[in-house]
């Protein structure tokens, strides 16, 4: 794993998706680069083998200056720009193929300089320093393939080499494109390092490297939402209670109105019975006066009768002796007794009649008074009951109205409190939305960069496919030569 990958994967980045995309693109570019490097090495070794067998004539630069100029040197590094231990295969592999191999006066030639003097046909002698002097007298192994003291500094041959003119132009174009691609890759790496430095500086300034933990805000928001739901449930319950109370108040109001109408009707009936009661009272007083007068008359008659009886008794008990010489008449005492008994009978009859009439009248009056009293008492009881119900309803109405006022005040307080909390939450959401918008803009820019890198990758894959086709053609040519 690369250094920057280890560093950034160990942290909790703010934009993990963007960095994941950049990581995948970087890994893909690295794999493509390794594949291209292997293709370059394979192509170079195939050309070397072909030059060893066939040689060339011209000494024109290829591969961006030949292998000797340093274009494909430093294979052990990550770029093909440098030398291969001193000069590649054109400068002499540190003197080995251009100046070495002749340390004993000829090296490979052994008789006059060998590889040191002319390096496989460096002039017109080929092994000209000594032995094998005619081994490629005017070009040696292909007329200049290993000429000039380099393997590639003078080209890989001309018409008798591995590649034709069109193929050389194609390879040169590919080399130019590779160089531009390397410049782009180097620029992207520099830009990536710059972005890493900026991100590191930003995280150092902003504080902890981890992203902000909004879980506590989520819990607070969830609790507030639950409280809002509970408050709404309580509010709906209160509204339902208020509606039920209002309906109950309406029912009690209807009952009160009906009872009040009954009370008014009973009061009107009572007011209508009062004249009758007054009339009965007057008639009773009249009857009582008549009864008193009759009683006085009866006493007076009794007194007169007693006086008459006493007078008669005194007259009959005197010493007067009257002798009447007449015919015997009726007995006076008998007559008086008869008259007395008759009067007594009449008086008794009158008394009985008066008493019976008085009793009947009194019974009627008492019945009427009793019925009126019962009606008045029942009316009074109804009035008292209605008054008590009215007072209880008034008290209940006042309590319900006070409850409604308190519930409305609680509702207003709750709405005001939750509005303040909602404003605070919206105030926290605002910067989060701005940060999200900035992240989206950054993701869009990273997406555009990813598309650009994807296009570069596609072109690289096409170039690699072209290299493969060239390698396959080179293999076919080698098979044909062998």
Q: Which of 143, 141, 142, 118 is nearest to 129 (CA)?
A: 118
- Binned at pLDDT 50, 70 and 90, residue 20 comes out as low
pLDDT greater than 70 at residue 9: no
Contact indicator for 43, 474 with CB cutoff of 8 Å = yes
The reported pLDDT for the residue numbered 102 is 33
The reported pLDDT for the residue numbered 76 is 35
**Rounded Cα gap, residues 312 and 340, in angstroms:** 12
Number of H helices, E strands in the chain: 7, 0
Q: Which two three-digit tokens encode residue 330?
A: 């009726």
Lowest-confidence pick of 13-27, 115-129, 371-385:
115-129
- Better pLDDT: 209 or 297: 297
The pLDDT tens digits for 46-85 are 666 666 665 543 434 333 333 333 333 333 333 333 333 3
For the whole model, what pTM was predicted? 0.27
Lowest-confidence pick of 5-19, 41-55, 338-352, 355-369:
5-19
pLDDT greater than 70 at residue 26: no
pLDDT greater than 50 at residue 106: no
- Give the mean pLDDT of the chain: 68
Percent of the chain with pLDDT strictly greater than 90: 0
Which residues lie below 8 Å from residue 397, measured CB to CB, with a gap of 6+? 249, 252
CB atoms within 10 A of CB 174: 17
Mean pLDDT of 120-142: 34
Mean pLDDT of 182-198: 83
- Binned at pLDDT 50, 70 and 90, residue 182 comes out as confident
Residue 319 DSSP one-character state:
S
The residue behind tokens 């019974």 is 363
Q: Which domains does the chain have, with CATH numbers?
A: 24-163 (no CATH), 232-303+338-432 (1.10.287)
């Amino acid at each position: 794993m690369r250094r920057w990958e280890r560093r950034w994967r160990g942290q909790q980045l703010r934009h993990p998706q963007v960095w994941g995309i950049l990581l995948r693109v970087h890994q893909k570019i690295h794999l493509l680069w390794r594949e291209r490097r292997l293709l370059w090495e394979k192509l170079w070794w195939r050309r070397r083998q072909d030059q060893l067998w066939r040689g060339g004539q011209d000494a024109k630069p290829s591969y961006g200056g030949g292998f000797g100029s340093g274009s494909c040197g430093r294979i052990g590094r990550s770029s093909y720009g440098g030398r291969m231990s001193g000069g590649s295969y054109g400068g002499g592999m540190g003197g080995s193929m251009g100046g070495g191999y002749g340390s004993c006066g000829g090296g490979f030639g052994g008789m006059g300089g060998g590889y040191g003097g002319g390096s496989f046909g460096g002039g017109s002698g080929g092994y000209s320093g000594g032995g094998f002097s005619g081994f490629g007298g005017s070009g040696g192994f292909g007329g200049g393939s290993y000429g000039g003291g380099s393997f590639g500094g003078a080209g890989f041959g001309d018409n008798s080499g591995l590649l034709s003119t069109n193929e050389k132009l194609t390879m040169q174009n590919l080399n130019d494109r590779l160089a531009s691609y390397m410049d782009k890759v180097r620029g992207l790496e520099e830009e990536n390092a710059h972005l890493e430095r900026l991100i590191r500086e930003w995280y150092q300034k902003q504080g902890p490297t981890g992203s902000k933990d909004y879980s506590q805000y989520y819990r607070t928001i969830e609790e507030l939402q639950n409280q809002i739901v509970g408050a709404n449930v309580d509010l709906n319950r209160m509204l339902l209670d208020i509606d039920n109370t209002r309906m109950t108040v309406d029912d009690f109001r209807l009952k009160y109105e009906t009872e009040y109408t009954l009370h008014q009707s009973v009061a009107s009936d009572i007011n209508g019975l009062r004249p009758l009661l007054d009339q009965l009272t007057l008639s009773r007083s009249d009857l009582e006066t008549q009864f008193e007068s009759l009683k006085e008359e009866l006493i007076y008659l009794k007194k007169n009768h007693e006086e008459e009886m006493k007078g008669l008794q005194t007259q009959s008990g005197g010493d007067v002796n009257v002798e009447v010489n007449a015919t015997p008449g009726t007995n006076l005492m008998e007559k008086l007794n008869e008259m007395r008994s008759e009067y007594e009978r009449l008086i008794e009859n009158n008394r009985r009649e008066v008493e019976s009439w008085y009793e009947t009248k009194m019974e009627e009056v008492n019945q009427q008074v009793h019925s009126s009293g019962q009606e008045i008492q029942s009316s009074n009881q109804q009035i008292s009951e209605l008054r008590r119900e009215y007072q209880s309803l008034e008290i209940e109405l006042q309590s319900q109205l006070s409850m409604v006022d308190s519930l409305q005040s609680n509702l207003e307080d709750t709405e005001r409190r939750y509005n303040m909390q909602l404003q605070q939450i919206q105030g926290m959401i605002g910067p989060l939305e701005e940060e999200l918008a900035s992240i989206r803009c950054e993701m869009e820019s990273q997406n555009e960069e990813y598309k650009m890198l994807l296009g570069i990758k596609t072109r690289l894959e096409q170039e690699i496919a072209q290299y493969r086709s060239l390698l396959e053609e080179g293999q076919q040519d080698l098979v044909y030569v062998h």
